Amino acid sequence: MSGGVDSSVAAALLRDEGHDVVGVTMRLWGGPSDSGCCAVSDVDDARRVAQQLGIDHHVFNFSDEFEAGVVAPYVDAHVRGTTPNPCIECNRTIKFARLAERADDLGFDAIATGHHARVVRTAHGGLRVGRGADRAKDQSYVLHMLGQRQLARTLLPVGDLTKARVREIATEAGLRTAAKDESQDVCFITSTAGRQLFLAERLTPRPATIVDTGGRELATVASIEMVTIGQRRGLGIGGGPARYVVDIDPREARVVVGGADELLCPTIVVESMTWAADLAAPAGTAVQVQTSAHGAAHAATAEVGDDATTVVVRFDQPQRRVAPGQSVVLYDVDDATVLGGGIAATGPSL
């Protein structure tokens, strides 16, 4: 229970179905938080909702694991010139790993969350993550790493509901979180200080040269760690046609910019793939590809490597480059369930 309306309603629905429900809030981030799910007020909201529902509530302190598994890799990724997805790593290492271990230790049968997604059983008997009923709130992208064992013990009670219906249920039940605003994604980046100040306290900024695709020097940037693929503003390269970051080379301290057409690419190389069925899709499988949490899915073909951990995704039509470090998720074209996902490789797309 994060202290938000979705997890509040998830707990209420499971209680009403007759399950023995215990609310758990994870204390992850010990620093300032004003826009995520780790503020003191969020813990208090979760506790009070649990009281309203008549269920026990516990707070588990996983701050050391969160620092090691999410925050430190987030900083390191920027040093290496990649753009990380900390919320996905939190799901991977904390919510569906460390929390699952604690649940095992305490004898619980399942873990439920307020994610807008569904657990779907395929015609072949396997389990996959399916899109939530409310496409605008769908969170299947951030759960793409879940395998068969995890899916077998995961409950997603609000996955078949629209966000509006979730709020209606919370209002009907008189839950204090019914009208609460949604949290921002990165709990340890405050809305006041932002990413730049957060990273400035944890790494030494390195200046870099900005060049066009022909190698002509245009300007310098104070910190290459703050630049990401697709960025247009804050580069200090003056007027003229819009130019976007199309490549970042941290070793050479160089940022390459180009026009909108140069931002397009026909492929993505995806590494560290995990597969929902614990078995890779056949080479040449037609897929839908999503490269951001709320982005559109695009038709493509997946060329799976021999070890199944690397995939070359070939789009039917060229798409905007994906920042290295971002998650790339492959969906079944027939039922829109997650086949698997991985991390966009470093270096320019092929």
Q: Among all residues, which ones are annotated catalytic?
A: 90, 187
Q: What is the C-alpha to C-alpha distance for residues 318 and 99, in angstroms, rounded to an integer? A: 40
Q: What is the C-alpha to C-alpha distance for residues 81 and 245, in angstroms, rounded to an integer? A: 12
Q: What is the C-alpha to C-alpha distance for residues 6 and 117, in angstroms, rounded to an integer? A: 12
Output b/e per residue, 180-190; b: 16+ Cβ within 10 A.
beebebbbbbb
Q: Provide the pairing of β-strand 22-27 with 56-61.
A: parallel
Phi-psi region of 293 (alpha: psi -120 to 50; beta: other; left: phi over 0): alpha
Q: What is the C-alpha to C-alpha distance for residues 1 and 7, in angstroms, rounded to an integer? A: 5
Picking from 26, 295, 25, 13, the residue whose alpha carbon sits closest to that of residue 142 is 295
Output b/e per residue, 127-138; b: 16+ Cβ within 10 A.
bbbbbbbbeebb
CB atoms within 10 A of CB 38: 24
